[in-house]
Amino acid sequence: MKLYSALKFFCKDILVISCFLSGLSGGLNGQQLQRYTISGFVKEAGSGESLIGVNVYMSDRKTGTVTNNYGFYSLTLPESDSVELVVSYVGFNPEIRKISLRKNTELNFELRSDVLLREVTISADRAERLSESARMSTVKLQGAQIRNIPSLLGEKDVLKVLQLMPGVQKGSEGSSGLYVRGGGPDQNLIILDDAIVYNANHLFGFFSLFNGNALKNIELTKGGFPARYGGRLSSVLEMNMKDGNREEWHGEGGIGLISSNVTVEGPLKKNRSSILLSGRRTYADLIISPILKIMDEENTGYFFYDLNAKVNYDFGRKNKLYLSGYFGKDKFYLKYRSTGIKENVGFLWGNSTATLRWNHLFNNKLFTNASAVFSNYSFGIYDEYKVVSENKDYYAEYYSGIRDYTLKYDLDYLPNPKHWIKGGLITVFHRFNPHAFIEEDIPGQISERDVEFIHGIEAGIYAEDTWHPFQSLKINAGIRLSHFIAPGKRYFHPEPRLSAAWRISNDLAIKASYASMNQYIHMLSNTGISLPTDLWVPATERVKPQQSKQVAVGAVRDFPETMFSLSVEGYYKKMDNVIGYREGASFLELNEPGDIEKTDWQDKVTAGQSWSYGLEFLLQKKEGRVTGWIGYTLSWTQMQFDSINSGRKFYARYDRRHDISLVAFFRVNDRINLSGTWVYGTGNAVTLPLSEYYAEPHDLLKDVHDPYHYYNGLSEMLYSRTVNEFGEKNNFRMRSYHRLDLGIQFHKTKKWGERTWEISVYNAYNRLNPFFYYSDVKYDGEKRTGVLRQVSLFPIIPSFTYSFKF
Amino acid sequence: MINKGIPIIFLLLFTLISCEREAKNVILPEFRQKLVITSFISPSDQVSFVSVSTNSRIYGDLYQTIDQGNLKAYMSDGNREIELAMADEGFEFSSVDMQVEPGRSYELRVTSDKGLHAEGFCTVPVKRNFVPEADTAKKVWYDTYQGSMNLLVTRVFLADYPGEDNYYRFGCKMVYYDPEYYYYPYITKISGTGSDFADDKGKDGERFMANSYVLPYPKYLDSAFLIFYYQSTDKAYYDYHKSLMKYSGGDNPFTEPSPLFSNITGGLGIFASYTLDSLVIRLR
């Protein structure tokens, strides 16, 4: 009850502010008529799945709103004999209702998917136009888009689809890491049902964690961040899992070359409660393992799996409860057996999240959500060695990770169509585990135990208002107060946010935004790709929080007749206290995990600044038989660190002058879909050696020659050697990257449901894109020639996938 | 086995799916010949050496000869400049030609008639009394398989000089007489349990443990001494050696290359200085 009272008190405060704001705007407009509220939920017909971001529009008054993350909308209007509501959403048929507004009205909608209707009627007014939204720098994806895009080995991947958007770049071949507007992959806040996901990839970044079948909504924000988001500098990727079908049991699945997946969903109590379970597992190890056993070889294998689960219960219109979770693991193992010796070595890493959410509708204008979230990422190595005959055992275990406990409370208050006020607070208790090492050489007796935990508390409180002062102007203004309690230090930063859209005409809007962000946790990785060894650590007294300020301006033009929309955005982002790795620092020191604690990670990093600016063009067509988009980014990203590159500015590794993506889908008929993507990007900036020379250390004791040199633990590798001369950091551009992927899907309706065969080709013209370079010597008889060698990862790779739906 | 680490997994992956070939259609970095200088000067040296060589190409014809031309080297202490005498693989000068003094700055200049030119600058650290002290303790060490063993732990402490940035390097050798085996003193290097390099970051003006040395207890020896050397170095000396220790040549795609520190203008290498002291510790 105390919690409930506290929440009520908080809501009251926000309401006072919002009443003031709405009163202000009401006063300005001189509204005198009695006002009533139409509110409700928008769901998908046939499944009861709530729909996010649905446009609820009054065509006669040229005003409207969109549904929130739980499908709720609210419109408060002066009384009227007739109000026409148009409810529209991409991929769904619109619904139009006329009502008389003489009292507060609850009005729920169920939208029918286009696919079910077969006949596609194209209407430009159905979906929210880009020019209508106050927000900019935002990308929204739906499950269908992900399913239709051809992919590596047929594995559908949310993050790789996002890489096809302007302003979002991939790091290296095959990697699912996102580099958004010059920021690193550590600067992306990835949220799955309110839970923060760390190191969001499988198989060293080649596949992302997220199973497209379980996702309902994917939204990436690259700039103009509303105040509700905080904690990262470069982007927010918010994903919501499907709730599960509330009306009948359904399932879908797929069998691919490297993994299979299955999703089942259905009502636990019809129209009240539903469940969704979705799982995926790779099976290369299951095929290879028996063969290796027959060959009496070392048994080596790798697999990953993930499981999404969600249950919800509807206690009525006012209260809904959701419990969702994600559990995923990657494992690489090596089992060695020889006479009298058994050894098991393995790497194990994975994420788990759990979210309990309670939606409460205080009244038809005030919607709230309270969440309790658990999130965990861990990485571990184990080595178990047994000499059977001598009864000797050795066991060592190294692990690292991060665990979060989060409490979050958000409210949406919609006093009238001119205001949508959001407020909330969040507290995250982080438990960082930069390293832990446990060693046993006698069974049951730990000979060495070194476990380190660092704690930090991150908190934020925010308020924002999407204000529509007059028909052609929409403003989202807000502030977030962020606070972090680090070891030995407290940080507090106000983060103002502002974005505005001015509609010059019905189809043309210009937009601008400003956002100030702070990031209180850092990821340590100097590999340039996503590895499970990447460590998360807090800001400390020495290593300050990263900060950014971003301004963006743009224009959006809808072309309703042709169903195209074009957006052009320019941005400038300055980041401070960005973490870089001191020259020579490595976080891959796994040879002797026990030595890791001897070096403080803070000594390995250095803080600097970064500048990123560019232009993004996106021409997209969301409806019709041919859909898709063309994205182009022209950008520059530079960095400067006092202790790197002699303090001079240099281009970031992922600085990409030109980045182009073409994505097209063609629905040939009801049974056949064609799809293709072509990407082009300027090569990564890397550091190549210029020449080599012989370097000698100074050694006072070099005349002491003896065979019995006592080494006591730390033997420093100080000897004469040939070293490379490096010029400016990142002085060389790799060859440009380009690739074409093609796919064809054959759908067929069966008695039991629908099946789809998909044939796709990754890298259709077999372009050997560089993954990395190294210098080498080529021998040709007497001749020795120094050459640069290029390693490429993926040649042309065809794949087949069978999927089904019932 | 654990040592194989993640690189094994990558190796497996790359073996299965990657392809490697000579990179074509790329503009390789142009080779620029430079002089490479290595010189560490100290007031304690009677003769100081300056090693001079040249860098070599890593792309293109590697048999192509690289001639550094006829070299000349000059050393200046701010008041006067001397031309250095040729020596094996470089130049030398004696303390009679020019005295290396604590607290003084020196400029080294090397030129070649091929137009190559390199110069370095260093300031010899001021001579300080770091008040060295040592303590020794006997320790019994137990090993599951070898049983117990008596060890002697020697710890050496220095007092950092306050108000300035100090950089240190330590070295140790043991001199002992074992009448059963040798008729002369035997000398062996001893490495410490800690790093041989240190700076005074976070311990300015404080007394600190420079290093510790663990040895089998020399109960069968006639006599044994530890000679602990401690150098007070300039920052360039410290940075050069630290970067040489953690040098990574950029062939590993998963780590950033770490260039070797250089303070030579127009060339490569190091010109640095130090002062030297020692402490003799009698063990038996």
Q: Which among B166, B164, B136 has a CA at the least distance from the CA of B228?
A: B136
Instruction: Please indicate whether, in this complex, the C-beta atoms of A692 and B55 are within 8 angstroms of each other.
Output: yes
What is the rounded CA–CA span in Å between residue B66 and residue B100? 33
Burial track A786-804 (b if 16+ CB lie within 10 A, e otherwise)? bbbbbbbbbeebebebebb
pLDDT value of residue B252:
67
pLDDT value of residue B23:
85
| CATH number of the structural domain A138-580 | 2.40.170
Instruction: Please indicate whether, in this complex, the C-beta atoms of B187 and A706 are within 8 angstroms of each other.
Output: yes
Cβ atoms of A572 and A551 within 8 Å: the answer is yes
Instruction: Please indicate whether, in this complex, the C-beta atoms of B244 and A526 are within 8 angstroms of each other.
Output: no
Chain B residues whose CB is inside 8 A of the A778 CB are 22
Measured between CB atoms, which of B19, B55, B191 is closest to A691?
A: B55
Chain B residues whose CB is inside 8 A of the A184 CB are none
What is the rounded CA–CA span in Å between residue A254 and residue B194? 56
Instruction: Please indicate whether, in this complex, the C-beta atoms of A204 and B14 are within 8 angstroms of each other.
Output: no
Chain A residues whose CB is inside 8 A of the B253 CB are 527-528, 771-772, 774, 791
Instruction: Please indicate whether, in this complex, the C-beta atoms of B6 and A531 are within 8 angstroms of each other.
Output: yes
pLDDT value of residue A298:
66
Fold of A33-128: Immunoglobulin-like (2.60.40)
Question: Looking at A24-28, A29-33, A359-363, A640-644, which range is the least confident one?
Answer: A24-28
- Using CA coordinates, name the residue in chain B closest to A691: B57
Sign of CA dihedral A700, A705, A710, A714: positive
pLDDT in tens, A732-752: 999 999 999 999 999 999 888
Q: What ranges make up the beta strands (E) of chain B?
A: 19-22, 35-41, 47-54, 56-57, 60-61, 71-76, 81-83, 85-87, 90-94, 105-112, 117-123, 133-143, 147-159, 167-177, 186-189, 197-199, 207-216, 223-233, 268-282
Question: Looking at A480-489, A579-588, A640-649, which range is the least confident one?
Answer: A579-588
- Using CA coordinates, name the residue in chain A closest to B20: A791
Cβ atoms of A520 and A486 within 8 Å: the answer is yes
Higher pLDDT, A333 or B166: B166
Calculate the CA B117 to chain-centre distance.
Answer: 25
Block residue for tokens 């400067």: A640
Burial (CB count within 10 angstroms: exposed 0-12, middle 13-18, buried 19+), residue A287: exposed
| Number of neighbouring beta carbons within 10 Å of residue A394 | 16
pLDDT at A755 over 50: yes
Instruction: Please indicate whether, in this complex, the C-beta atoms of B57 and A701 are within 8 angstroms of each other.
Output: no
- Using CA coordinates, name the residue in chain B closest to A344: B1
- Using CA coordinates, name the residue in chain A closest to B187: A704
pLDDT value of residue A527:
56
pLDDT at A27 over 80: no
- Using CA coordinates, name the residue in chain A closest to B278: A700
pLDDT value of residue A409:
96
**Hey, is the C-beta of B61 within 8 angstroms of any chain A C-beta?**
yes
Measured between CB atoms, which of B63, B195, B247 is closest to A783?
A: B63
| pLDDT confidence band for A482 (50 / 70 / 90) | very high
**Hey, is the C-beta of B267 within 8 angstroms of any chain A C-beta?**
no
Mean pLDDT, to the nearest integer, of A75-96? 83
Higher pLDDT, A17 or A268: A268
CB under 8 Å to A153, separation ≥6 — which residues? A256, A257, A258, A762, A797, A799
pLDDT in tens, A30-71: 445 688 888 889 988 888 888 888 888 887 777 788 888 888
Instruction: Please indicate whether, in this complex, the C-beta atoms of A725 and B34 are within 8 angstroms of each other.
Output: yes
- Greatest C-alpha distance within chain A: 103
Higher pLDDT, A179 or A136: A179
Percent of chain A whose pLDDT exceeds 90: 34
Cβ atoms of A67 and A42 within 8 Å: the answer is yes
pLDDT value of residue A581:
75
Mean pLDDT, to the nearest integer, of A240-264? 89
Instruction: Please indicate whether, in this complex, the C-beta atoms of A795 and B3 are within 8 angstroms of each other.
Output: no
Across all residues in chain A, what is the average pLDDT?
Answer: 83
Measured between CB atoms, which of B28, B174, B250 is closest to A687?
A: B250
Cβ atoms of B270 and B261 within 8 Å: the answer is yes
Domains (range + CATH), chain B: 35-127+235-275 (2.60.40), 133-231+276-282 (2.60.40)
CB under 8 Å to A425, separation ≥6 — which residues? A10, A408, A409, A459, A460, A461, A462
Cα distances (angstroms) measured from residue A189 to each of A178, A275, A350, A525: 11, 27, 17, 17
Instruction: Please indicate whether, in this complex, the C-beta atoms of B20 and A792 are within 8 angstroms of each other.
Output: yes
pLDDT value of residue A91:
76
pLDDT value of residue B4:
44
pLDDT value of residue A270:
87
| Number of neighbouring beta carbons within 10 Å of residue A720 | 12
Measured between CB atoms, which of A343, A529, A581 is closest to B1?
A: A343
In degrees and rounded to multiples of 5, residue A517 shows phi and psi of -130, 155
* Structure token pair of residue A210: 């997220």
| pLDDT confidence band for A421 (50 / 70 / 90) | very high
**Hey, is the C-beta of B64 within 8 angstroms of any chain A C-beta?**
no
Cβ atoms of A348 and A382 within 8 Å: the answer is yes
DSSP per-residue letters across B71-123: EEEEEE-SS-EEEPEEETTEEEEETTTS---TT-EEEEEEEETTS-EEEEEEE
Chain A residues whose CB is inside 8 A of the B54 CB are 693
Beta strands at A35-44 and A105-106: parallel, antiparallel or unpaired: parallel
What is the rounded CA–CA span in Å between residue B121 and residue B123? 7
Block residue for tokens 């409207």: A64
CB under 8 Å to B267, separation ≥6 — which residues? B34, B35, B36, B37, B110, B116, B117, B118, B119
Instruction: Please indicate whether, in this complex, the C-beta atoms of B62 and A784 are within 8 angstroms of each other.
Output: yes
| Number of neighbouring beta carbons within 10 Å of residue A444 | 7
Rg value, chain A, Cα: 28
Measured between CB atoms, which of B19, B192, B254 is closest to A795?
A: B19
pLDDT in tens, A92-137: 888 888 888 888 888 888 888 765 433 333 333 444 566 666 678 8
Name residues 183-222 of chain B within 8 A of A (Cβ).
Answer: 186-197, 212-215
Percent of chain A whose pLDDT exceeds 70: 84
pLDDT in tens, A367-397: 999 999 999 998 888 888 877 766 667 777 7
- Using CA coordinates, name the residue in chain B closest to A727: B259
Q: How far is B249 from chain A (nearest CA, A)?
A: 6
Cβ atoms of A348 and A367 within 8 Å: the answer is no
pLDDT value of residue A705:
56
Cβ atoms of A241 and A192 within 8 Å: the answer is yes
Instruction: Please indicate whether, in this complex, the C-beta atoms of B22 and A787 are within 8 angstroms of each other.
Output: yes
Domain boundaries, given as residue ranges, for chain A: 33-128, 138-580, 621-806
pLDDT tens digits, chain B, 284 residues: what are they? Answer: 444 445 555 555 554 556 888 888 888 888 999 999 999 999 999 999 999 999 999 998 888 878 888 999 999 999 999 999 999 889 999 999 999 999 999 999 999 999 999 999 999 999 999 899 999 888 777 766 667 778 888 999 999 999 999 999 998 888 888 777 666 777 888 888 888 899 998 889 999 999 998 887 776 667 888 899 999 999 999 999 988 888 877 666 666 778 899 999 999 999 999 999 999 988 87
| Number of neighbouring beta carbons within 10 Å of residue A188 | 25
pLDDT at A571 over 90: yes
pLDDT value of residue B92:
94
**Hey, is the C-beta of B4 within 8 angstroms of any chain A C-beta?**
yes
